[in-house]
Amino acid sequence: SERILSFVPPDGRFRLISYNVSTGVHMLPLYAKPRVLFQEGGTGRFELTIGTKQAMGKNVEKVVVTVPFPKQVLNVNLTQSVGTYSFDPIKKELTWEIGKMQAQNPTPNIKGNISLQSGVPPPEESPTIFLDFKISAYAASGLKVSRLDIYGEKYKPFKGVKYYTTAGRYQIRT
């Protein structure tokens, strides 16, 4: 559910918010190492490793990897180290649900064979990989709230801010 901050503006000029954004580089907390090989003769190989960056130290939750394969792909026969996968032969789409990833745990990996249409040239392009995930207590933008002042109300706000990052469809080109 979305959290909404609402207010009634006072008459005249006023300041609602002031902020600073760090100009430092904010790295994505995940990395991907894909390897896709389409061969003549109707076969291919697929391998993908997804990992968390050690410096980050946060748990990454609800990790889902989606790989839309080219139309020449008929089926996949894969083995995953974590989670579950499914392949939709009509959409030609692989969905790998990893779930929660922790920095100290082994790196999730999925690999195996790809079946291609015979008599058709193998695809020339490798598929794009999409990552969906959520990270609590992390703001990928670098935006931080250092202070919240409420005037004119007899309300004592909770002293704290909860950050979380949700990636809608982070794209990795192979």
- Closest CA relative to residue 114, chosen from 20, 55, 45: 45
pTM: 0.77
Q: Give the CATH number of domain 30-135+165-172.
A: 2.60.40.1170
Q: Give the range among 1-15, 45-59, 74-88 with minimum mean pLDDT.
A: 1-15
Q: Distance between CA atoms of 88 and 169, rounded to whole angstroms?
A: 19
Is 55's pLDDT higher than 60?
A: no
> Would you say how long the chain is, in residues?
174
pLDDT per residue over 93-123, tens digit each? Answer: 999 999 998 877 789 999 999 999 988 888 8
Is 163's pLDDT higher than 90?
A: no
- Amino acid letter, residue 17: I
